[in-house]
Every structure is written in C-alpha cells, then in structure tokens.
Amino acid sequence: MLRFLTAGESHGKGFTVILDGFPAGCKVDTAAINGEFLRRQAGYGRGKRMKIEQDKAEIVSGLKDGFSFGAPIAIFIKNNDFSINKKPAIYSPRPGHADLAGGMKYNLKDYRLVLERASARETVARVAVGALCKQFLGNFKISVFSHVIQIGSARVLKKIGQNSIFKLAERSPLRCVDKKAEKEMIELIDEAAKKGDSLGGVFEVIAQSLPPGLGSYAQWDMRLDGQIASAIISVPAVKAVEIGSAVENSFHFGSDVQDEIFYNQKSGFIRKTNRAGGLEGGITNGGSLVVRGYMKPIATLSQALSSVDIRTKKQVKAFKERADVCAVPSAGVIAESMLGFVLMRSFLDKFGSDSLADIKTNYKSYIDRLKNY
C-alpha cells in the first residue's frame, strides 16, 4: 500500500518525508521535484519566507542510479530559516489557527510548539511526494495540474479548454487563465496587503487521461471521491471541496445535470458533458477529473485580531507571525500533490504495486479488455 509520513517543524532543521510502497523500476527526476518546490513558492501575494528558502530535495534512500527499487524513499528538505530555538514563546493564540485547540489537546502552554508543526511549511514535504507520484503517473500519460479561478470576489469570467489551461496558467503570476480577472485579483491582493489583511479563494485541479475503473462503490472508504475530498481538505486553510460542477448542480433538476452516455465505433462510450467531474459512484469514468478547493483567507494577519493571554486570561492582541497575504496558487500546487498521491495509490490498488514493468503489463491488459467491452 502506498503511504507517506512527514516530520519536521517550520523553523526546525528541515522536513523529512518517507514514501513507502513506491514500485521498483521507476526513473526519478530530482530536478523535477525541485521544480515543483519552485511552483509551490511562486504566486502573487506570497510572504518573505519564500525569499529565504531555496528548497532542494535530498534523496537519502530508496534510489539507485536514479531508479526506485521498491524500498521506502526518504527525502530531506533543509530549512534555511533554522531558528526554532531563537523564536519567542507564544502565549496569545491566533484566531483561525490550531494554537488554542492544539494547546488544549496536548497540554501545551507555549503555542510556538503548536505553530511549528501545524504550519503550512510542512506542505513542502507533501509536494515532494506529489512530484514522485506525478512522475509515476506520467508513465501512463496521466497528467495533473491546477489553476486559480477565484481570489476574494474576483473570479475567472471565461471558460478555457482543459488542454490549454496548464500552459496558460504557468505563465501567469497567479496561475489564472483569465487576464482580466487576474488583474482584479492582483488589485485585491494589493489592497489586502495595505490593510494588513489576507485573502482566500478557489483553485481547480484537473487530472487527465485517467482510465475508467479507479476506486470502488463496494465500500464507503474505497470510494475515490471520498478519498480525494479527504486529501484536498487536509491542505491548510482549505475548508471545502467540490468535484465537477457539484455546487451549481445542486440548484438544478436532475435531468439538467447528468452526463448522458453515447456510443460510437471510434471512441466507444462517450459523454458530451462532464458535470460529474470524471467520477460516478466513487469510480473514475474516463473523463477528466475536476476538483475544486475553497481556501479561507489566511488566519495570520499583520493587523492582529483579539485573543487572550493564556497566563493571565486577559484580553490581548493575538501573536503576529510572518505570513502570506494570499496563497491560493500555492495551495493549488499542494492539492495537485495530494491528488497525485491519491490517484497513484488507487492506480496501484488496481494494477499492482511491486514493479513498474508488471504494472504496465496489467494496465495494457485492462485497456485492451475495455476496447472490446
């Protein structure tokens, strides 16, 4: 079974991630992992921390001559800002963060100890995992990418073909494909920065060329939509997940929102719409998988909100920590990684998990069977 664990603190020595269950025989491109780190750091509205860190993947186990051999893969990402022992203790919890609830749970009175692990800095380790998973999926021509569709009240106004989204979004400071909307988004971010405030928004992650049949309807925990929702909402500050046009669908009659099925000799079974977002009954149906994450405004504000000093129980302003104004584009990259992990895990469940050569054989046999279905 594919699984991973991360360890590390925001201002500690760095982050370690162990990815277990990665098949043998996969070529791993370390430069591509580092490229994903750069994508995570980019995006208009990011804070000063992004200028300090120059994330690089140090692969310490699981590879030989650039290929996996079935052993756990361990990666270390060094923190340039290694200052945890110099950082002040925190006694006034920040609204919207894990500070107070985490302190209560673990009986901690210094919220620095909560902040250091709950910090979104941890997601650099997840991006390393996602980079490996996306490289594996690339062996089967499966791609995963993201773009921004809303920042605050500014929203993408026009629809873009899914095949062109990736190239258009990657050229953009916000990974937005609508230039008019992007201009409005940047103006809102600038306004929030001047006020010491923050902004959230919506990103969309798309996976293409998935075969039908990943996931299952047989048990609740095998439904792929449930696994995807869990993974995406685990991204810090993401509070809601949508698959396909689920929110819009809820306002219409059923006859208006189902993806009708057709057939022709060349393509087999086809759908002319994709309102289900590529999933039916918890199983991929061969269409593009479309997932949206709704990110709340970042809770750390330079204009601090009201809080309570844990020692005196008196009203004070919350502790102020360095933070972004807006991190929606970066959240999209992290969500790509989480989706890539879930899809690879489901892929291995169906086609085997030991050797890439065997997995390719099983995959080809399945695709050939579907051609005659």
State residue 161's pLDDT score: 63
* pLDDT bucket at 251, cuts 50 / 70 / 90: very high
Please give the full DSSP string across 64-120, using - where no structure is assigned: ETTEE-SSPEEEEEE-S---TTTSPP--SPPTTSSHHHHHHHHT-S-THHHHHHHSG
State residue 301's pLDDT score: 84
Q: Name residues whose C-beta falls within 8 Å of residue 50's C-beta, 6 or more positions apart in sequence.
A: 41, 42
State residue 273's pLDDT score: 95
Q: CA nearest 59: which of 81, 32, 23?
A: 32
Question: At the fourth CATH level, which superfamily is domain 3-371?
Answer: Chorismate synthase AroC (3.60.150.10)
Domain positions in the chain are: 3-371
Q: How far is CA 169 from CA 140, 175, 180, 213, in A?
A: 23, 4, 13, 29
Strand order, beta sheet including 238-243: 154-155, 143-151, 201-208, 289-295, 238-243
Question: 289 has which bridge partners?
Answer: 207
- Tell whether the model's pLDDT for residue 322 goes beyond 80: no
Q: What is the largest CA-CA distance in the chain?
A: 75
State residue 341's pLDDT score: 98
State residue 160's pLDDT score: 60
Q: 167-208 pLDDT, tens per residue?
A: 677 778 899 989 899 999 999 999 999 998 999 999 999 999
Question: 307 has which bridge partners?
Answer: 316
DSSP for residue 122: G
Side chain identity at residue 236, one-letter code: P
pTM: 0.95
What average pLDDT does the structure give for the chain?
A: 94
Q: How far is CA 232 from CA 94, 183, 188, 363, in A?
A: 23, 27, 25, 27
DSSP SS3 for 284: strand
Sign of CA dihedral 338, 341, 342, 343: positive
Alpha helices, H only, 208-264 = 224-233, 246-249, 254-257
Phi and psi at 79, nearest 5°, equal: -90, 125
* pLDDT bucket at 163, cuts 50 / 70 / 90: low
CA-to-CA distance for 335 and 230, rounded, in angstroms?
11
Burial class (CB in 10 A: 0-12, 13-18, 19+), 158: exposed
Chain centroid offset of residue 232 CA? 6
